[in-house]
Structure 1
Amino acid sequence: MTVRILPLPETEPPASDGGLGALSTDKGNLPLDSVGVHATITGLAAGIEVVQGFRNPFDMPLEATYIFPLPDRAAVTALRMEAADRIIEGTLKERAQARQDYDAAIAAGRRAAIAEEDRPDVFTMRVGNILPGERVTIRLTLDQPLPHESASSATFRFPLVVAPRYIPGAPLDGERTGSGVADDTDAVPDASRISPPVLLPGFPNPVRLAVTADIDPAGLPLTEIRSALHVVSEESDGGRTTVRLQPGERLDRDFILRLGFAPHETAALSLAPDESGEEGTFNLTVLPSGDARPSPRDVVLVLDRSGSMHGWKMVAARRAAARIVDTLRGEDRFAVLSFDNVIERPRDLGTGLVDGTDRNRFRAVEHLATLDARGGTEMLAPLDEGCRLLADSARDRVLVLITDGQVGNEDQLLAHLEPRLRGVRVHTVGIDQAVNAGFLNRLASIGQGRCELVESEDRLDEAMEHIHHRIAAPVATGLTLHADGLEIVQGSVAPTRLGALFPGVPLVIAGRFRGSPSGALAVRGTASGGTPWEQRATGIVSTDRAATSIWARAHLRDLEDRYTTGGADGLEQRIVETSLRFGVLCRFTAFVAVDSRVVTEGETPHQVVQPVESPRGWAAPSAVPRAAHATFSAAPAPFAPPPAPAGMPAPASAPPEHAAPSSGELAGAPSSSRPFGTSAGRGPAPRRARRVPALTGFQQELTNVLNRLRQIPEDQRVLYLLGELVPILDSIVQRMEAQYLDATPLATLRDDVRRLQPTSDQTTINDQWTRVLQVLADFTGETPPRRPFWKRPT
């Protein structure tokens, strides 16, 4: 993977401890100056408050954009904006409406903030009209489950940085969907929303980070607390433990706490009734014991050797793959596929499945030992090939993907693979300190397998024991859920596909029930020997209010994945309704907070995109040649800073450089396959402008009208159409006719709009509004707007 680096402008060189990608003044870095994470862990769930502090040291209003991660299983349930003496609670709305409300507020000179989900674990925060010298604080409230890694451990993982992702596909024309450094493509239509600029190493820590976790085992037999990647302090008081991150850490890797437990119940069912008493949420945990009878398997191992896997990740990936090959038996068949932008196989093992003999396993391990990191992450072809190899087998079929998951085309991959995975179990092994857990969990869920995350070589041996259990024969398959005295709400169970049970790997099932919180649930299936299998639990009433939001997030994830893979019509509306009913953010909704106070005169605020850290363990970007310079135009790009005062280094941004492949290594890459950005040192590619033909005076006038129309809130549309648009159209029609120009489309539109009444119903108004936008867009020659980037292609 190669990257784009923005060259330094011709100005004073930065200090020796500086770097590229930060926006800086003598008052500090912009715009984000602090991030706080406070988790309250109770049993196997966590309530989290995330606090983001933004400030503006410039002499003009500022709009800050921050692309940041959150745990992919966490439910975002609230947003609050605090500025000066104002506290504004956010409202969850349908996404298009929330974006319109935000844009209208900024145009009207009001403070506003909006939080949007772009991936299950990648979000965008925009905070607008931050006044000079002002500080704005954003508070997000989350509820998160602690997933089991085994029957005796659970993990609290909080990501702190969005790592650069490989962006395949051909660039799209038209306006970008976001302000990141990558171009939108046909494979990743929102690439510019998931590719923040990146600081070069050596820049002083721009963000104060504080992480605190208060841990209450809530009766569970807690035996240990381990921090995987950070130095922490611990304080214990009356059975509760507080863990604090040491000061001075950077937002460059996941924060991970592992909680160890003594052996406990093999099945547990909690029932949390709603306040109304009419419905409630159940949570069933099943901990299978014992080993399954081995059976012949077909196993395809897919190993990512792309540039982002350089360093310790490549070493760990080779070791993990070799350990998996070594566990195969003579009656098993297997294939090993390593990939970057090409697929390679072990020498002498052919193109199909081979028996798991000592010779064949030796050849495979020999091949793995030669692999190093190079090239781009073209993941679709090797996964498709793996599915093809496993398509016609009557055996237990297993596909194992070992990768850091750093790709942007997750939806494309899942939509393509889902129909090919019928009967194939998919396990994913994520290796990184800032892993793309959202994608790897989604792929494993669709493949009815499990995801194992490895953040260091020290963790690998422990993780491999879990992986060995998961690729072994399952304890039970064909699982179904049965209720006894408890009425389950139809279609509410998450996960939708229960998959299989593996030795020592817990299964968690959540859903909604109606009526009294009493009764039992049983999970039934077929054991490895063909005999019936069942595990049963009787419900215990719980007062855990987070249970419903955690279930809602899991249910929404299932619905979103069904939508991605081509689910039934009406699914989008069901997702929106579920999100709004339970107050949990999803890809079709957004939290928006709008201050009623007008603080500016409505001028466009200066826009800055917060640069993020290079993930820990990634290769450092190359130094920028000093002969290369960049200049800023009078109208800077949205992610550029205001004109710099004398002596201030103008900012630049650069994603971290992966181990760069040689030209020969990339020679076989298809033309549509490209890393994000151009090669280091070439300078930034210009932002692609919207394709609009040369406009006449009338077309330009109506372009301005069209842009204004898109800012009008829904409840003000009829007043604008009758009070402002009709007179404007009347004037333009008269002037065009005076010059013998054809004004028929505009005259017809004017007459149609005049027939509206202030009392017309909203559906009639919205239909007319849509027609107005279309007629004006046709007249001005504007490129038709793309489908909203959060919706799948039609």
Structure 2
Amino acid sequence: KMVGCGLLTAKKNPVPLKSVEVELQVKDHVATVISTLNYQNKEDKPIEALFVFPLPGDAAVCHFSADIGQTHIVAELKEKQQAREEYDDALSSGQQAFLLEESEQSPDIFSLSVGSLPPGESASIRLQYVIELAVEADGALRFCLPAVLNPRYQPQGPGVPVSSVPASEIPYSLSFSARVSSPRPVSKVESSCSLEPLQYLNTDHTEAAVKLAAGHKFDRDVELLIYYKDAHQPSAVVEAGQDSAQPGTLMGDPVVMVSLYPEFPESVVSKRASCGEFVFLVDRSGSMDCPTNNWNQQETRISSARDTLLLLLKSLPMGCYFNIYGFGSSYDHIFLQSVEYSEKSMEEALKKVKVMQADLGGTEILQPLQHIYSQPCISNQPRQEYNYSYSTLYYNFCWLFVYRPASSLNAGMTSKRALRRAGQPRRDPLLQLVSLQKASGCWLLDAALASVLGKTSEEVEKSKPAEVSSEVWATILALIWLHGFKMDAKDEWELLAVKAASWVQAQNAPCVKDCVDASNALLGCRVHKEALGL
């Protein structure tokens, strides 16, 4: 059974949520999110409540507190066993206590045991975390507040986002405000929801504030896009140390954050587009045979790894070099040495990935790393290594944790969330469509593609403009489908879509706009040609 989100009873029934107050503080490229959630026990008896909430995979909790009646509790970081014992002792003596832990079923879900909530009593829970904001292709910084804080709006499967629910069914309200500051002027702030006008707080426009328009219901994800002027200029932000902290400690001393967001000339980017040696290092120890979560016991970590490798292999540029290593107590590799990426080498690799199992025993990563870096470098092909591994270290602390399911040693090229969300694979037509893409970036017009698109071969063939080749038509259809139906997974398919668009442009195909219009009409979408990168 899937874990619900919000304040739950021991039987996983939701405690009514009254309101959500979110304050967003953005400093350059980093955001601090302060959420206050207000609940009320409407039962006629006390309940022991559990607060369950999702966090982005790269977020770090820095404060947690709760108010029940006149009682104010602030979380402290303690060793896990000690924290559990003190929590049990407090409950048995009739005291109110809280225990915040990482969920054992999913690494990006926290659970907080709130303890006994008296009948009619209200609970106010305050969570604060920090996160680095993602940079979009147009230079915007993207922040997203997911609408999953109430169990009734929890998605029906892992990794399925909530984009919208009927506003008339939302029994609580959302207050959301954002304050943005940067050494660079704030150009504009856009949102998927209605906003009040942007207010500048100083004359040079380096500080600004914005709020959601009045009457907003938390019926969809709240997304903010923040634009700075001169976004590619280096910047630095200094934060003073805390007065209450001991001087000479991390929290007591001032710190500086330097942001470098370089802009490379198009001539340099295009020259390096097909360069690189990409080495994928996959954990194949016995622990990878465990389920990725508790609501789908059939989905294992190794099957998630196979799906991620499919996405990454399809995203590689023609002309680069690649290899795949598996490691455990021993290690192996698909090719004796990195090979040039082509249709033949890609298909050979995918055949071996398809049968990849968690059958290499323990978790020893040093030897394969030594072997990789003992290999001579390929001329003009900078080496980049990607590690896919679930940590085998058990964190012995409650409240604060660090977890990265996969890390890149060089961030030059990666299918961002395909790695970050590897524990939340997508078992849907997306992977079927990706599996049909050729190494060059194109798709073929065949029955398999038509099936993924939900159409018959006759429907797809009949809608094709006469002047266009079958491959160009099939590729534009695939791009329209991705943009029309899988925008929530864009970070997984973005690179392979760029490769597909580049292939279309290289064909100098006539009537591309007619193809886009015909594809929209066939699939029931409204995607603009410019959005495809054509």
Question: TM-score with structure 2 length normalisation?
Answer: 0.50
Which residue is equivalent to 1:636? none
Which residue is equivalent to 1:130? 117
Query: Which runs of structure 2 are paired with 1:644-659 in the superposition (5 Å)?
Result: none
Which residue is equivalent to 2:210? 241
Q: How far does residue 88 in structure 1 lie from its aligned partner after superposition?
A: 0.9
Q: How far does residue 158 in structure 1 lie from its aligned partner after superposition?
A: 4.3
Which residue is equivalent to 1:80? 65
Distance 2:498 2:211 in 1: 28
Query: Which runs of structure 2 are paired with 1:425-444 in the superposition (5 Å)?
Result: 427=414, 429-431=416-418
Structure 1 residues 39 and 375 mapped into 2: Cα distance closer, same or farther (>3 Å)? farther
Distance 1:83 1:75 in 2: 25
Which residue is equivalent to 2:446? none
The counterpart of 2:315, out of the listed 290, 311, 324, is 324
Q: Tell me if 1:259 matches 2:226.
A: yes
Q: CA offsets per residue over residues 620-673 of structure 1, 9 Å max, x none?
A: xxxxxxxxxxxxxxxxxxxxxxxxxxxxxxxxxxxxxxxxxxxxxxxxxxxxxx
Q: CA offsets per residue over residues 715-766 of structure 1, 9 Å max, x none?
A: xxxxxxxxxxxxxxxxxxxxxxxxxxxxxxxxxxxxxxxxxxxxxxxxxxxx
Q: How far does residue 360 in structure 1 lie from its aligned partner after superposition?
A: 3.0
Q: Tell me if 1:103 matches 2:88.
A: yes
Distance 2:218 2:99 in 1: 29
**Structure 2 letter corresponding to 1:52:** L
Which residue is equivalent to 1:61? 46
Distance 1:246 1:271 in 2: 35
Which residue is equivalent to 1:334? 322
Which residue is equivalent to 2:376? 394
Contact 2:98 2:112 in 1 (8 A): yes
Distance 2:118 2:403 in 1: 44
Q: How far does residue 109 in structure 1 lie from its aligned partner after superposition?
A: 1.4
Q: How far does residue 284 in structure 1 lie from its aligned partner after superposition?
A: 1.5
Q: Tell me if 1:92 matches 2:124.
A: no
Which residue is equivalent to 2:447? none
The counterpart of 2:258, out of the listed 284, 289, 302, is 284
Matched residue of 1:456: which SS?
helix
Unaligned 5+ runs, structure 1: 7-21, 163-194, 196-201, 438-453, 469-794
Distance 1:146 1:284 in 2: 14
Which residue is equivalent to 2:139? 152
Contact 1:29 1:206 in 2 (8 A): no
Q: How far does residue 234 in structure 1 lie from its aligned partner after superposition?
A: 1.7
Matched residue of 1:233: which SS?
coil
**Structure 2 letter corresponding to 1:104:** D
Which residue is equivalent to 1:571? none
Matched residue of 2:98: which SS?
strand
**Structure 1 letter corresponding to 2:68:** A
**Structure 1 letter corresponding to 2:35:** V
**Structure 2 letter corresponding to 1:242:** K
Distance 2:144 2:339 in 1: 39
Q: How far does residue 356 in structure 1 lie from its aligned partner after superposition?
A: 1.3
The counterpart of 2:100, out of the listed 95, 101, 115, is 115
Cα RMSD for the two superposed structures: 5.9
Q: CA offsets per residue over residues 269-296 of structure 1, 9 Å max, x none?
A: 3333336698311112223343488597
Distance 1:97 1:424 in 2: 39
Which residue is equivalent to 2:529? none
Distance 1:66 1:78 in 2: 15
The counterpart of 2:22, out of the listed 22, 30, 38, is 38
**Structure 2 letter corresponding to 1:236:** P
Q: How far does residue 38 in structure 1 lie from its aligned partner after superposition?
A: 0.8
The counterpart of 1:210, out of the listed 174, 198, 205, is 174
**Structure 2 letter corresponding to 1:398:** Q
**Structure 1 letter corresponding to 2:34:** E
Q: How far does residue 108 in structure 1 lie from its aligned partner after superposition?
A: 1.7
Distance 2:491 2:414 in 1: 18
Q: How far does residue 130 in structure 1 lie from its aligned partner after superposition?
A: 0.9
**Structure 2 letter corresponding to 1:335:** N
Contact 2:55 2:108 in 1 (8 A): yes
Q: How far does residue 141 in structure 1 lie from its aligned partner after superposition?
A: 3.2
Distance 1:285 1:344 in 2: 39
Identical counterparts, % of pairs: 15
Distance 1:246 1:51 in 2: 17
Structure 1 residues 466 and 98 mapped into 2: Cα distance closer, same or farther (>3 Å)? farther
Question: TM-score with structure 1 length normalisation?
Answer: 0.36
Structure 1 residues 382 and 68 mapped into 2: Cα distance closer, same or farther (>3 Å)? same
Contact 2:386 2:408 in 1 (8 A): no
Structure 1 residues 152 and 135 mapped into 2: Cα distance closer, same or farther (>3 Å)? same
Q: How far does residue 81 in structure 1 lie from its aligned partner after superposition?
A: 2.5
Contact 2:188 2:198 in 1 (8 A): no
Q: Tell me if 1:360 matches 2:360.
A: no
Of 121-130 and 141-150, the range deviating more from structure 2: 141-150
**Structure 2 letter corresponding to 1:430:** R
Matched residue of 2:224: which SS?
strand
Q: CA offsets per residue over residues 588-624 of structure 1, 9 Å max, x none?
A: xxxxxxxxxxxxxxxxxxxxxxxxxxxxxxxxxxxxx
Matched residue of 1:235: which SS?
coil
Contact 1:114 1:125 in 2 (8 A): yes
Contact 1:34 1:207 in 2 (8 A): yes
Matched residue of 1:110: which SS?
coil
**Structure 1 letter corresponding to 2:230:** P
Q: Flag the structure with more relative contact order, 1 or 2, with Cα contacts below 8 A and sequence separation at least 6.
A: 1
Q: How far does residue 375 in structure 1 lie from its aligned partner after superposition?
A: 11
Distance 2:132 2:22 in 1: 15
The counterpart of 2:277, out of the listed 298, 313, 336, is 298
Distance 2:299 2:195 in 1: 34
Contact 2:183 2:235 in 1 (8 A): no
Distance 1:357 1:43 in 2: 41
Q: CA offsets per residue over residues 197-229 of structure 1, 9 Å max, x none?
A: xxxxx99979847362424354634455455xx
**Structure 1 letter corresponding to 2:118:** L
Q: CA offsets per residue over residues 345-375 of structure 1, 9 Å max, x none?
A: 9xxxx6444531645356359869x97xx99
Q: How far does residue 121 in structure 1 lie from its aligned partner after superposition?
A: 4.0
Q: Tell me if 1:273 matches 2:240.
A: yes
Which residue is equivalent to 2:127? 140
Matched residue of 1:112: which SS?
coil
Query: Which runs of structure 2 are paired with 1:595-614 in the superposition (5 Å)?
Result: none
Distance 2:68 2:489 in 1: 44
Unaligned 5+ runs, structure 2: 150-157, 159-164, 201-208, 283-287, 293-297, 396-401, 425-485, 501-534
Query: Which runs of structure 2 are paired with 1:186-197 in the superposition (5 Å)?
Result: none
Matched residue of 1:234: which SS?
coil
Contact 1:37 1:50 in 2 (8 A): yes
Query: Which runs of structure 2 are paired with 1:403-442 in the superposition (5 Å)?
Result: 427=414, 429-431=416-418
Contact 2:21 2:175 in 1 (8 A): yes
Q: CA offsets per residue over residues 392-450 of structure 1, 9 Å max, x none?
A: 32324323478xx9x786769x99999x999999956324997769xxxxxxxxxxxxx
Distance 2:391 2:409 in 1: 24
Distance 2:68 2:403 in 1: 42
Structure 1 residues 364 and 215 mapped into 2: Cα distance closer, same or farther (>3 Å)? farther
Q: How far does residue 129 in structure 1 lie from its aligned partner after superposition?
A: 1.7
Higher-Rg member (1/2)? 1
Q: How many equivalent pairs are there?
A: 368
Contact 2:100 2:110 in 1 (8 A): yes
Structure 1 residues 246 and 424 mapped into 2: Cα distance closer, same or farther (>3 Å)? closer
Contact 2:322 2:341 in 1 (8 A): no
